[in-house]
């Protein structure tokens, strides 16, 4: 399930993962570590909304 | 012969074997929306149905009230009494304030009923009229402990008033003691009103004393008044626990929704304890919160508020109607409801016992993600309108009794959306707020705080610089003897910063508040005496990731583009229509406006966006164009430069302007200067811009705030910020085109967000170059005052809807944080 950052619009897509934060593809949003932040604007996980 | 009531069909003892006598409250045009609507439709059969339902639910007696402005109460009441007398087995309680109606009903009622009610409000005229007819017809009567000063609040007053009524009813009119049901009134413990913390105890003691000092009399109570302001589900439990306590104190009868009464056995130990703590105002040793907050927390973690009970939705005593209007953000008919309430309640009571709890409930729903910020603001608008209506009717002294908070955006900072939201939330939760505005020096804060004798001070600021200003001012506040807790808020602050840098330098609590509701919580904690400084546990804290490539060799051999000109230019005829396609609607809708997905399904959220949010946006775009609220202007240019370590040196007009940028302390140790060639490498060019959408939109935004249009204020402010960002995006693209590096065109808005283009712009004050002192050389280079942009003493741009950046063309340049 993709998630979107409410602060900047960046979309986290589990199929892509997040290379800038060393997150491998296939990682579900809920499985992202607590310390994970938006790679573009550094907003915390709680600023993300499910997209689908 | 035991004191009893009777209908055509049966007699009912006033003292039930298992007390209390249950008096069903639903046949009440003031109390029940459903009943009222049936009445207004002349659906008397429907009204009868409500009566029969209560009979099935276990009521012993039925209250009947049909008063409604514009209708003939006499005709309605006598019609209903005739119908009920024939078809309902239960005795009735005739609920009316019109003596003529009461008389007519007493004449036709075939049995013994109760008259609701008598009191000493007018000094004794009405009570005598009614006692006379009660005596003549042999009825029973409810006596409210209201005297000429109003509703009796203390046990002593309630008992004294009861005795005065007794002397008239029994002494003058020869009623028997058991003909009278004294209602010592109860007030809500759910409003957080300090003066009502012992409301339950005052009532319970009054019941005890009335039963003991006036032997033979009966007592009755409208139980649900104890819980106004609390959630529907928790009210049901509290009402039931309170009823049990009242019966133990000697209560004979209770006016209730019989379908909702819970036997004590069905209430868990935990629920019971939390209710009793609240009723008796007991603090839990070791608990941080007072009994009310514990009660609310306890029931909010229980099942949701979504009681899908068709009946509960229509529970509409005027008090409930008002609370619902606040909850729904509905101003329709507000003054009518307030006028009805003012007949019986003083304005301060309406504010403290109905409006404030309703807003608190709104805040709780927001906290649980069940109500979004724009709707919170609509509720606050209703609250404000109600208070504005009531204010002229209040005593000055009443207004002075609430907690006072001073708010200010600190020196050098012009941002105020967050602070203004705090003012909206606090003032509409019953607090007195003094908002000093923006750019306020510490000396003025001290002066005003003392002059206005405030209880708390709240400081706000967006800039990193403002956080430092706050920290440095702590010592000043301590030495000046400010003497009150300080709340700190603003995007640049963190819990860690406040705990480690601000708390130690001040001698009263310093508290980090992430948003308006955290501020509200802090004010409440201060009132309860449990407010503490923010603490930061380094070990427990989450160390945020630092995104970005971890090793990056910055190429030194990329070509330097040709610039169309060198120096600065000003562009003032930019078409706003060019900006709207670039507005980041996701950030606007979700981030600025607060329309988050929360607990909605994908479909529900899509509906919300389509039906509510997108139309708001479209309306604002139209307004912006029609009223020329967006007037985009840019001061920009290209300048020869070279990098030297962490500095970019701009050469202009025979002079050098230095920009020192910070470098990351962890790999890949990036610094903006790396994206520009050194002198040895041949030098480079740098682009700069200062862009604004003008002053008009900010002025209109503040006008909305000043006229209490909170919702529209939030909408327009958010819109103005995102349109400013869109201008930056637009102009950056223009510059890429001028430099000939615009071959990579971003795909859709997401492409712009993820920088699918060559180069990057870095906004001053943002993570890669947080120091706003860089604005000094920028302003010398570009002369943005020619497009109406100036700087505050802390180098912040005015108007707020302005943005600036250095533009790098290097293919590897992307956003990063230091």
- Of B46-50, B280-284, B376-380, B472-476, where does mean pLDDT reach its minimum? B280-284
Q: What percent of chain B has pLDDT over 90?
A: 67
More confident residue, B261 or B312: B261
Q: Which CATH class is domain B4-263?
A: alpha beta
Look at residue B285 and tell me whether its pLDDT is greater than 90: no
- Find the mean pLDDT for residues B130-145: 95
Instruction: Give tens-digit pLDDT for B538-552.
Output: 776 777 777 766 667
Does the beta-carbon distance from B584 to A8 stay under 8 Å?
Answer: yes
> Which chain A positions have a beta carbon within 8 Å of B548's beta carbon?
20, 39
Q: Which residues of B531-553 are buried (b: 16+ CB within 10 A; e: fewer)?
A: bebbeeeeeeeeeebbbbeeeee
Interface of A with B (CB under 8 A): 4, 6-11, 18, 20-22, 33-40, 42, 44, 47, 49-50, 52
| B814 to chain A: closest CA residue | A40
Greatest mean pLDDT among A32-36, B245-249, B415-419 lies in B245-249
Topology, domain B567-808:
3.10.196
User: Domain coordinates of chain B in residue numbers?
Assistant: 4-263, 317-393, 402-527, 567-808
pLDDT band of A16, cuts 50, 70, 90: very high
Look at residue B666 and tell me whether its pLDDT is greater than 60: yes
Does the beta-carbon distance from A42 to B549 stay under 8 Å?
Answer: no
- The answer to whether B181 and B173 are in contact (CB under 8 A) is no
> Which chain B positions have a beta carbon within 8 Å of A18's beta carbon?
547
Predicted confidence at residue B463, as pLDDT, reads 82
- Report the residue from B547, B549, B586 with minimal CB separation from A37: B547
- Report the residue from B547, B596, B753 with minimal CB separation from A20: B547
Q: What is the ipTM of this complex?
A: 0.96
Distance from CA of A20 to the nearest CA of B (A): 5
- Report the residue from B542, B602, B815 with minimal CB separation from A34: B542
- Report the residue from A11, A22, A42 with minimal CB separation from B767: A42
Predicted confidence at residue B304, as pLDDT, reads 47
- Find the mean pLDDT for residues B461-467: 86
Does the beta-carbon distance from B547 to A47 stay under 8 Å?
Answer: no
More confident residue, B317 or B533: B533
Q: How many CB pairs under 8 A join A and B?
A: 58
| B748 to chain A: closest CA residue | A9
Does the beta-carbon distance from A9 to B817 stay under 8 Å?
Answer: no
| A39 to chain B: closest CA residue | B547
Q: What is the CATH number of domain B317-393?
A: 1.10.1240.10
> Which chain B positions have a beta carbon within 8 Å of A37's beta carbon?
544-545, 547
Predicted confidence at residue B303, as pLDDT, reads 52
Look at residue B712 and tell me whether its pLDDT is greater than 50: yes
| A18 to chain B: closest CA residue | B547
Does the beta-carbon distance from B587 to A7 stay under 8 Å?
Answer: yes
Topology, domain B402-527:
Rossmann fold (3.40.50)
How far is the C-alpha of B663 from the C-alpha of B667, rounded, in Å? 10
> Which chain A positions have a beta carbon within 8 Å of B543's beta carbon?
35
- Report the residue from B597, B602, B754 with minimal CB separation from A10: B754
Predicted confidence at residue B309, as pLDDT, reads 44
How far is the C-alpha of B787 from the C-alpha of B801, rounded, in Å? 13
> Which chain B positions have a beta carbon within 8 Å of A50's beta carbon?
597, 602
Predicted confidence at residue B229, as pLDDT, reads 78
Predicted confidence at residue B224, as pLDDT, reads 85
Does the beta-carbon distance from A21 to B545 stay under 8 Å?
Answer: yes
In degrees and rounded to multiples of 5, residue B457 shows phi and psi of -125, 135
Does the beta-carbon distance from A35 to B542 stay under 8 Å?
Answer: yes
- The answer to whether B564 and B738 are in contact (CB under 8 A) is yes
Helix (H) or strand (E) holding B312: none
In degrees and rounded to multiples of 5, residue A50 shows phi and psi of -65, 145
Report B:566-595 residues touching A (Cβ under 8 A).
Answer: 584, 586-587, 590-591
Q: Which two tokens stand for residue B726?
A: 């869109």
> Which chain B positions have a beta carbon within 8 Å of A49's beta carbon?
590, 596-597
Does the beta-carbon distance from B591 to A44 stay under 8 Å?
Answer: no
Predicted confidence at residue B689, as pLDDT, reads 98
Does the beta-carbon distance from B545 to A9 stay under 8 Å?
Answer: no
Does the beta-carbon distance from B547 to A6 stay under 8 Å?
Answer: no
Predicted confidence at residue B2, as pLDDT, reads 86
> Which chain B positions have a beta carbon within 8 Å of A34's beta carbon?
542
Does the beta-carbon distance from B753 to A10 stay under 8 Å?
Answer: yes
Predicted confidence at residue B585, as pLDDT, reads 96
Look at residue B305 and tell me whether its pLDDT is greater than 70: no
pLDDT band of B720, cuts 50, 70, 90: very high
> Which chain B positions have a beta carbon within 8 Å of A11's beta carbon?
750
> Which chain B positions have a beta carbon within 8 Å of A33's beta carbon?
545
Look at residue B767 and tell me whether its pLDDT is greater than 80: no
Instruction: Using the Cα atoms of residue B742, residue B746, residue B747 and residue B748 in order, give the sign of their dihedral.
Output: negative
> Which chain B positions have a beta carbon within 8 Å of A21's beta carbon?
545, 547
How far is the C-alpha of B808 from the C-alpha of B676, rounded, in Å? 8
- Find the mean pLDDT for residues B431-455: 95
Report B:526-555 residues touching A (Cβ under 8 A).
Answer: 542-545, 547-550
- Identify which of A6, A19, A38 has the alpha carbon closest to the alpha carbon of residue B544: A38
Select from A6, A22, A33 the residue whose CB has the most chain B CBs within 10 Å, as the one to mutate to test that interface: A6
Predicted confidence at residue B123, as pLDDT, reads 86
pLDDT band of B782, cuts 50, 70, 90: very high
Q: Which two tokens stand for residue B209?
A: 């004393």
Q: Which two tokens stand for residue B356?
A: 């404030």
Distance from CA of A26 to the nearest CA of B (A): 19
- Find the mean pLDDT for residues B447-460: 96
* Whole-number Cα distances in Å, B359 to B224, B261, B329: 19, 26, 10
List all residues 6 or more positions away from B126 whose beta carbon is below 8 Å from its beta carbon: B99, B118, B119
pLDDT band of B771, cuts 50, 70, 90: confident
- The answer to whether B153 and B190 are in contact (CB under 8 A) is no
- Find the mean pLDDT for residues B776-780: 95
Interstrand relation of B253-256 and B21-28 (parallel, antiparallel or unpaired): parallel
Q: Which two tokens stand for residue B362?
A: 């709104």
- Report the residue from B544, B550, B815 with minimal CB separation from A37: B544
- Report the residue from B543, B586, B753 with minimal CB separation from A35: B543
- Identify which of B570, B544, B618, B614 has the alpha carbon closest to the alpha carbon of residue B731: B570
> Which chain B positions have a beta carbon within 8 Å of A39's beta carbon?
547-548
- Find the mean pLDDT for residues B58-66: 94
Instruction: Give tens-digit pLDDT for B474-524.
Output: 999 999 999 999 999 998 788 999 999 999 999 999 999 998 989 999 999
Does the beta-carbon distance from B587 to A37 stay under 8 Å?
Answer: no
* Whole-number Cα distances in Å, B293 to B356, B403, B465, B485: 14, 18, 36, 21
Does the beta-carbon distance from B544 to A40 stay under 8 Å?
Answer: no
Helix (H) or strand (E) holding B347: helix B347-350
User: Across chain B, what does the average pLDDT equal?
Assistant: 90
> Which chain A positions have a beta carbon within 8 Å of B590's beta carbon?
4, 6, 49
User: Domain coordinates of chain A in residue numbers?
Assistant: 3-50
- Find the mean pLDDT for residues B254-276: 88
- Find the mean pLDDT for residues B398-424: 88
Topology, domain A3-50:
Rubrerythrin, domain 2 (2.20.28)
| B596 to chain A: closest CA residue | A49
Residue with tokens 């309703």: B358
């Amino acid at each position: 399930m993709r998630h979107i950052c409410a602060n900047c619009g960046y979309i986290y897509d589990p199929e892509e993962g997040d290379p800038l934060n060393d997150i491998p593809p296939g990682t579900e949003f809920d499985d992202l570590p607590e310390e994970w932040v938006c790679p573009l604007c550094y907003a915390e996980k709680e600023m993300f909304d499910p997209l689908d | 012969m035991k004191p009893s009531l009777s209908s055509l069909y049966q007699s009912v003892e006033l003292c039930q074997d298992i007390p209390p006598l249950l008096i069903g409250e639903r046949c009440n045009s003031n109390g029940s929306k459903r009943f009222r609507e049936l009445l207004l439709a002349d659906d008397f059969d429907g009204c009868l149905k409500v009566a029969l339902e209560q009979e099935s639910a276990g009521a012993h007696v039925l209250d009947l009230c049909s008063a409604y402005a514009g209708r003939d109460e006499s005709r309605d009441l006598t019609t209903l009494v005739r119908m009920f007398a024939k078809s309902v087995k239960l005795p009735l309680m005739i609920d009316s304030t019109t003596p003529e109606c009461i008389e007519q009903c007493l004449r036709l009622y075939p049995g013994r009923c109760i008259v609701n009610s008598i009191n000493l409000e007018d000094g004794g005229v009405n009570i005598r009229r009614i006692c006379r007819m009660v005596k003549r017809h042999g009825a029973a009567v409810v006596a409210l402990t209201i005297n000429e000063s109003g509703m009796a609040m203390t046990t002593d007053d309630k008992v004294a008033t009861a005795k005065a009524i007794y002397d008239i009813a029994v002494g003058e009119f020869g009623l028997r003691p058991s003909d009278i049901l004294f209602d010592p009134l109860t007030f809500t413990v759910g409003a957080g009103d300090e003066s009502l913390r012992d409301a339950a105890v005052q009532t319970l003691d009054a019941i005890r004393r009335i039963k003991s000092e006036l032997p033979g009399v009966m007592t009755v109570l409208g139980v649900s008044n104890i819980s106004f302001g609390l959630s529907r589900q928790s009210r049901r439990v509290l009402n039931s626990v309170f009823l049990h306590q009242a019966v133990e104190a000697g209560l004979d009868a209770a006016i209730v929704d019989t379908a909702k009464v819970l036997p004590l056995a069905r209430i868990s130990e935990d629920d019971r304890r939390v209710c009793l703590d609240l009723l008796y105002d007991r603090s839990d040793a070791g608990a941080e919160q007072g009994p009310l907050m514990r009660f609310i927390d306890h029931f909010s973690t229980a099942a949701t508020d979504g009681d899908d009970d068709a009946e509960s939705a229509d529970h509409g005593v005027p008090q409930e109607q008002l609370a619902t209007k606040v909850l729904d953000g509905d101003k329709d008919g507000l003054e009518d409801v307030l006028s009805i309430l003012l007949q019986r309640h003083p304005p301060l009571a309406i504010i403290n016992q109905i409006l404030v709890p309703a807003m608190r409930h709104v805040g709780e729903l927001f906290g649980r993600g069940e109500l979004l910020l724009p709707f919170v603001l609509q509720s606050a608008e209703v609250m404000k309108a109600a208070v504005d209506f009531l204010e002229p009717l209040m005593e000055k002294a009443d207004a002075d009794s609430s907690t006072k908070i001073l708010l200010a955006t600190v020196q050098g900072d012009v941002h105020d959306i967050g602070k203004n939201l705090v003012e909206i939330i606090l003032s509409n939760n019953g607090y007195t707020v003094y908002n000093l505005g923006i750019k306020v020096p510490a000396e003025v804060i001290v002066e005003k705080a003392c002059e206005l004798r405030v209880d708390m001070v709240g400081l706000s600021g967006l800039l990193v610089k403002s956080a430092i200003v706050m920290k440095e001012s702590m010592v000043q506040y301590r030495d000046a003897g400010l003497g009150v807790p300080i709340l700190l808020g603003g995007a640049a602050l963190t819990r860690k910063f406040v705990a480690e840098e601000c708390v130690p330098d001040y001698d009263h609590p310093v508290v980090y508040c992430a948003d308006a509701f955290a501020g509200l919580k802090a004010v409440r904690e201060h009132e309860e005496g449990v407010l503490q400084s923010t603490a930061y546990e380094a070990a427990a804290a989450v160390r945020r990731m630092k995104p970005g490539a971890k090793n990056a060799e910055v190429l030194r051999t990329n070509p330097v583009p040709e610039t169309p000109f060198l120096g600065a230019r000003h562009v003032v005829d930019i078409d706003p229509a060019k900006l709207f396609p670039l507005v980041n609607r996701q950030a606007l809708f979700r981030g600025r406006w607060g329309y988050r997905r929360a607990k909605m399904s994908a479909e529900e959220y899509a509906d919300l966006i389509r039906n509510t949010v997108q139309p708001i946006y479209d309306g604002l775009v139209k307004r912006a164009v029609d009223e020329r609220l967006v007037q985009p202007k840019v001061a920009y240019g290209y300048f020869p430069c070279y990098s030297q370590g962490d500095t970019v040196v701009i050469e202009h007009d025979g002079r050098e302007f230095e920009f020192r940028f910070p470098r990351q302390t962890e790999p890949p140790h990036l610094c903006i200067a790396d994206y520009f060639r050194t002198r040895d490498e041949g030098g480079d060019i740098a682009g700069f811009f200062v862009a604004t959408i003008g002053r008009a939109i900010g002025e209109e935004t503040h006008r909305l705030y000043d006229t209490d249009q909170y919702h529209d204020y939030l909408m327009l402010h958010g819109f103005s910020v995102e349109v400013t960002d869109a201008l930056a995006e637009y102009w950056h693209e223009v510059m890429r085109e001028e430099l000939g590096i615009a071959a990579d065109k971003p795909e859709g808005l997401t492409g712009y967000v993820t920088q699918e283009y060559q180069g990057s712009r870095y906004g001053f004050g943002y993570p890669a170059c947080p120091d706003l002192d860089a604005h000094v050389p920028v302003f010398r280079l570009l002369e943005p005052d020619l497009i109406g942009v100036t700087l505050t003493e802390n180098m912040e741009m005015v108007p707020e809807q302005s943005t600036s950046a250095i533009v790098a063309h290097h293919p590897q340049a992307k956003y990063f944080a230091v």
